[in-house]
Structure 1
Amino acid sequence: MKEVILALLTGVVVGFLFAMFKLPIPAPPALAGVTGIVGVYLGFKAFQAVAPFLQRIF
């Protein structure tokens, strides 16, 4: 949980600095982009979950 809080805090600080210097936000500007990132993470986790079974088959 500590890692999640530190990651959130880092993101807030970076977002604040980007806004302060009037730079474009370093993240997808739309919900679809954020959803895509979550999908990539979930796909990675799904592969990790089934990898032991796939190694037995192949």
Structure 2
Amino acid sequence: MKVTIQSFIAGIVLGAIFSLLNLPIPAPPNFAGIMGIVGIFTGFLIINQYNKKRGKTEVE
């Protein structure tokens, strides 16, 4: 939970800096982009769980 809060605070700070410098935000500008990121993460988790059930470990 601590890492999540730190990441959120870092995002707020970076968002403020980008806004103050009048730079475009380095994040998806709409809901579809956010869902794409969520989809990538979900796909990773699904394959990771599948590999664990098969006894495979992550590539190092």
TM-score relative to the length of structure 1: 0.88
Give the fraction of aligned pairs with identical amino acids, expressed as a percent. Answer: 39
User: How many Å separate the matches in 2 of 1:22 and 1:31?
Assistant: 22
Which structure shows the higher helix fraction? 1
Where in structure 1 do 4 or more consecutive aligned residues deviate above 6 Å? none
Deviation at 1:54, TM superposition (A): 4.3
Cα deviation digits, residues 4-39 of structure 1 (max 9, x gap)? 000000000000000000000010001000010011
Unaligned runs of 5+ in 1: none
Other-structure match for 1:51: 51
Other-structure match for 2:36: 36
Answering whether residue 4 of structure 2 is matched by residue 7 of structure 1, we say: no
Other-structure match for 2:17: 17
User: How many Å separate the matches in 2 of 1:55 and 1:13?
Assistant: 41
User: How many Å separate the matches in 1 of 2:53 and 2:4?
Assistant: 30
Aligned residue for 1:18, secondary structure, equals helix
User: How many Å separate the matches in 1 of 2:8 and 2:52?
Assistant: 32
